[in-house]
Amino acid sequence: MPGHSSSELIIVEEKNIESYGQIAKSTGVYGGSQAIIMLVGILRTKILAVLLGATGVGLVGLYQSVIDLIKSFAGLGLSFSSVKDIAEANSTGDEDKIARTTTVLHRLLWLTGLAGMILMIAFSFPISEYLFGDQSKAWPICLLSFCVLTGILSSGQIALLQGKRRIIKMAKASVYGAVGGFIVAVVFYTWLGIDGIVPTLIVASLLSLVFSWRFSRNEFVRKVQISVKETFRQGGSMVKLGFYTMISGLISTATLFFMKSFMLQVSDIETVGLYQAVWSISFMYLGAILTSMGTDYYPRLCGLNGDNEAMVRFSNEQTRFVLLVTTPIIIFVLLLSSPILQLLYSSEFALAADLMRWQILGTFLKVLIWPVGFFLLAKGKGLRFFIAEFSWFALYYFATRFGWEYFGLESAGIAYLIAYVIYYPLVYFMVKPLCNFRFTNENLLLMLCFLAFTLFAFMIAMYLEGWLYWVLAASIFIITSLLAAYEMNRILPAKIWKEKLMKYIRK
């Protein structure tokens, strides 16, 4: 490159390797913890089903739904919006600013937690009447209001760890909380049977709070004196951004509810089950990969706020890494949709294979625009974020209803793809004026290449069978994986992985 000395190029290359190395490390650490948490959740559900049967599973589900709903509403999205303020304060290195931000967050957590607890107690009798047809469960619901308080406090402390990019501590707190809750569940369900449900939920939530406090207590650098007026003034930005993320979350929950209600009206409960299975795989399991990456990506992006060029450069690095990691997985799931559904559920779920293929194709577009969407939150543009999310869910729901007459259950997958085809340019053109965002030429070429591979995999999965299908399926998966591995080795050489692994083993 003209105008650059070889020493300058070496420094730039080392910085790129270090950046990609941090992305890989945080993804591996938090991704591993999420895998453990999912495994513990599966075991916990299995033990619940064996010891308490369908009644116990249903009762736990209803109680947990009430807790989650009240917690989401009362929490005002602070567990997500506060990450931005903490990350920005942490990036300055100013201990006074960090202390003021964490103090404000701590006060807001107690305020919203207590408000949520009181709200659940106040509506305990109407909630019991609505869910159970009588008021017999009002007192258990009152007791479970404690879980709202502990849940909000715990999620806020996890947000503090995320904002300060203490990913290992964050992972440990989450894993220890999940394992502790599992042990409590085994003990109480074995000892008390169905009467152990309420104590289990309370003690498990308390353990999560204890572990989140244990790993975050040293992050409260020091106490500062802040007036109530100053608390609300400084916390206003957290609440404002959190409000939009909270509403977006409620819209997501409502959309899924209306989707299932619509399917139940026009079809049957089995159709709802097929839809739920596909949604779990595409949204929860594949989404867990993006969540793991976003754990460090979002606070790092917020920490760069003010330096648009650095934000765009870092986003392009994250986009490249996401593409290389997820594309082979997406193609694998596309090609083996039917066997995967049968393996995770049962043979009757193979009927949803076409729905799953359309939805996984839409997931590829989600992967492409996923790093860009975080700019709206990092820049504090909560209203734009809300508009983008609302547009996606509205398109998804109404396109499904419109297409049902022609495609049946498959229309939900087609609608998922259509929604992301429109969501992609919408988000891109919302973000571009904020920081002159653009993809690098190298990333654009990689996107087009992987898009072509994904479309080819989709076509052969939909329209071919027999030996020709297996030959082409194996070929496209191997080619994609080799290309991804080659590109990964370019940005993060294998020798670096080996050195880090050996260093970790010695440590």
The count of C-alpha atoms lying within 13 angstroms of the C-alpha of 394, restricted to the half-sphere facing its C-beta, is: 9
Residues 171 and 292 occupy one common structural domain: no
State the average pLDDT over residues 202-211. 88
Residues 284 and 383 occupy one common structural domain: yes
State the average pLDDT over residues 48-56. 68
Least confident of 56-70, 176-190, 249-263, 381-395: 56-70
Where a domain ends, among 190, 209, 226? 226
Residues 88 and 173 occupy one common structural domain: yes
pLDDT score, position 456: 93
Where a domain ends, among 209, 226, 243? 226
Domain that holds residue 286: 251-506
Region of 439 on the Ramachandran plot (φ > 0 left; ψ -120 to 50 alpha; else beta): beta
Least confident of 51-55, 189-193, 327-331: 51-55
pLDDT at 7 over 50: no
Least confident of 37-41, 243-247, 389-393, 466-470: 37-41
pLDDT at 274 over 80: no
Instruction: Report yes or no on 245 lying in a domain.
Output: no
**% of the chain exceeding 90 in pLDDT:** 13
pLDDT score, position 141: 85
Q: Quick count: other Cβ atoms within 10 Å of Cβ 219?
A: 17
Instruction: Report yes or no on 233 lying in a domain.
Output: no
> Is residue 430 a contact partner of residue 388, using CB atoms and an 8 Å limit?
yes
pLDDT score, position 415: 94
Q: How confident is the model at residue 152 (pLDDT cuts 50, 70, 90)?
A: confident
Residues 208 and 302 occupy one common structural domain: no
Residues 392 and 457 occupy one common structural domain: yes
Most confident stretch, 147-151, 189-193, 316-320, 394-398? 394-398
Residues 362 and 470 occupy one common structural domain: yes
pLDDT at 301 over 90: no
pTM of the model: 0.76
pLDDT score, position 294: 66
Q: Quick count: other Cβ atoms within 10 Å of Cβ 263?
A: 23
pLDDT score, position 244: 76
The per-residue pLDDT for range 410-423, each reduced to its tens digit, is 999 999 999 999 99
State the average pLDDT over residues 31-57. 69
DSSP state of 429: H
Instruction: Report yes or no on 259 lying in a domain.
Output: yes
Residues 156 and 286 occupy one common structural domain: no
Residues 277 and 203 occupy one common structural domain: no
The per-residue pLDDT for range 75-108, each reduced to its tens digit, is 777 777 777 777 777 777 777 777 777 778 788 8
Residues 163 and 167: their CA atoms lie apart, in Å, by 9
Q: How confident is the model at residue 449 (pLDDT cuts 50, 70, 90)?
A: very high
pLDDT score, position 263: 79
Query: Which pair of structure tokens corresponds to residue 40?
Result: 């513990």
Closest CA to 393 of 376, 418, 410, 372: 418
Q: In sequence order, which residues have a C-beta less than 8 Å from that of residue 42 and are 6 or more positions away? A: none
Q: What is the mean pLDDT of the chain?
A: 79
State the average pLDDT over residues 219-241. 69
The per-residue pLDDT for range 107-130, each reduced to its tens digit, is 888 888 898 889 888 888 888 887
Instruction: Report yes or no on 1 lying in a domain.
Output: no
pLDDT at 5 over 50: no
What string of DSSP letters covers 443-490? Answer: HHHHHHHHHHHHHHHHHHHHH--HHHHHHHHHHHHHHHHHHHHHHHHH
pLDDT score, position 419: 93
Instruction: Report yes or no on 95 lying in a domain.
Output: yes
pLDDT at 54 over 70: no
The tally of domains found in the chain comes to 2
The per-residue pLDDT for range 155-201, each reduced to its tens digit, is 888 888 777 777 777 778 888 888 888 888 888 878 877 788 888 88
Residues 321 and 375 occupy one common structural domain: yes
State the average pLDDT over residues 215-244. 71
Where a domain ends, among 226, 259, 283? 226
Instruction: Report yes or no on 240 lying in a domain.
Output: no
State the average pLDDT over residues 306-325. 85
Residues 205 and 285 occupy one common structural domain: no
State the average pLDDT over residues 364-375. 86
pLDDT score, position 482: 92
Q: How confident is the model at residue 382 (pLDDT cuts 50, 70, 90)?
A: confident
Closest CA to 251 of 390, 388, 385: 390
More confident residue, 147 or 503: 147
State the average pLDDT over residues 344-368. 84
More confident residue, 155 or 360: 360
Residues 221 and 268 occupy one common structural domain: no
pLDDT at 231 over 90: no
State the average pLDDT over residues 369-378. 84
Q: How confident is the model at residue 27 (pLDDT cuts 50, 70, 90)?
A: low
Instruction: Report yes or no on 74 lying in a domain.
Output: yes
Cα–Cα distance list, 350 to 70, 256, 343 (Å) = 36, 22, 10
Instruction: Report yes or no on 244 lying in a domain.
Output: no
Least confident of 20-34, 254-268, 319-333: 20-34
Residues 221 and 261 occupy one common structural domain: no
More confident residue, 4 or 178: 178
